[in-house]
Amino acid sequence: QKYGYFHCKDCKTRWESAYVWCISGSNKVVYFKQLCRKCQKGFNPYRVEAIQCQICSKTHCSCPQKKRHIDLKRPHRQELCGRCRGKRLSCDSTYSFKYIV
């Protein structure tokens, strides 16, 4: 699970998600795209980063070397998530980062 940054090239909407699924040990995004809330077109993130800080290994860090912009309190929009759509359980209730820690 990684944190992803998205950008719709058509309507210029930007969004973030703490529910980007990558192949283990890489930043290669697997099958699940997220839909733009305005256009309803599917996108992969243009950038992903680890949820935990690579320096201190904490989710919420204040390391002076790197300013992080990760917001884990952002709501997960199940209707826009390629993984959640059509399933009974969402990413944030089944594979949430809080259960991995």
Reported pTM: 0.68
pLDDT score, position 1: 79
* pLDDT tops 90 at residue 13: yes
What is the β-pairing status of strands 2-7 and 14-20? antiparallel
Structure tokens at 12: 């210029």
Residue linked to tokens 């950008």? 7
pLDDT in tens, 18-57: 888 777 776 677 667 889 999 999 898 998 888 777 677 6
pLDDT score, position 74: 75
Structure tokens at 18: 């703490």
